[in-house]
Chain A
Amino acid sequence: KAGVTQTPRYLIKTRGQQVTLSCSPISGHRSVSWYQQTPGQGLQFLFEYFSETQRNKGNFPGRFSGRQFSNSRSEMNVSTLELGDSALYLCASSLVGTSISEQFFGPGTRLTVL
C-alpha cells in the first residue's frame, strides 16, 4: 500500500507570495492533518480535515488555510508569505482519526521563503 505522498518536496518562494501544498493520504484514510516543523518551535499542529470538513485547528493566523476533497486528498495554502513561514510542512493521515489511531506521516514539503 502506498504511503502518504506530498508534493512538491521542495519549494522556494518570496515574501508576499502565496503557496499551495498538496497531500495524498493512504488509500482509505479519511483524516488528514497538517503540521509545521521549525527548529525553534518544533512540530506544531496546523489543522485536521475529516470527510471534507475541518475538524480541528491549531493556533495559526488566518493566512494558513486548507481544504479536503471528496477523495480525501488535501491541500494547504499560505497567503502573503513571511520569512517565518520557512519550515517543513508535514501531512499525516489516519483511517478515521480517533485519539488512539495511528497517524502516518508523509516526507514533508520544505518551504523556503526569501
Chain B
Amino acid sequence: DAKTTQPNSMESNEEEPVHLPCNHSTISGTDYIHWYRQLPSQGPEYVIHGLTSNVNNRMASLAIAEDRKSSTLILHRATLRDAAVYYCILRDGKSGNTGKLIFGQGTTLQVKP
C-alpha cells in the first residue's frame, strides 16, 4: 500500500477554516484518498474520500492536487468538536474487495476557542 505523510499536529482557532495537508507521492492511478478522524475516546469515523476530482460533503471538502501527489482536507469552520486525530489513507481501488484500512500516525488537530 502506498504511504501517506501528514504533519504530526496542527492548531486552529474556532470558526476559522482549517487546511489539513497530506502527501502521497507514490500514489497509483487506482488509489482512492480517504480521510477518517478519531475524536477523543471514540472509534474513528469516516470523513470523506475522492479519486481525482475535488469532493464536498456536509463535514468537509477534499481538494486533490492535479498530479494527485498531495491532497488537503478542508474544514470550513472549525468547531471545538472538530478537535481530533485526522488520518489520510490510500485505498487501492483495483485490489478487489477489502475493508482493510492502513492507518498512519495522523494529524492531531487542536481547536482553540
Instruction: List the interface of chain A (C-beta within 8 A of B).
Output: 4, 31-33, 35, 42-45, 48, 50, 55-56, 58, 90, 92, 94, 96-108
Contact = CB atoms under 8 A, between A and B. Distances in A.
B68 interface: no
8 contacts: A42-B106, A43-B44, A45-B102, A55-B99, A92-B43, A99-B91, A103-B46, A107-B43
A46 B63 CA distance: 31
B97 A105 contact: no
Interface residues of B, number: 24
Given A105-B44, A106-B43, A107-B42, A43 B103 contact: yes
Given A44-B103, A96-B97, 12 more contacts: A4-B43, A31-B99, A32-B99, A42-B105, A58-B100, A97-B99, A98-B99, A101-B99, A102-B46, A105-B45, A106-B43, A107-B42
B100 to A, nearest CB: 5
A96 B96 CA distance: 11
B52 to A, nearest CB: 13
A7 to B, nearest CB: 14
Given A90-B43, A99-B32, A100-B32, A33 B93 contact: no
Contacts of A104: 45-46
Say whether chain A's binding surface is mostly helix, strand, loop, or mixed: strand
B29 interface: no
B2 to A, nearest CB: 13
Given A42-B104, A90-B43, A105-B43, A50 B93 contact: no
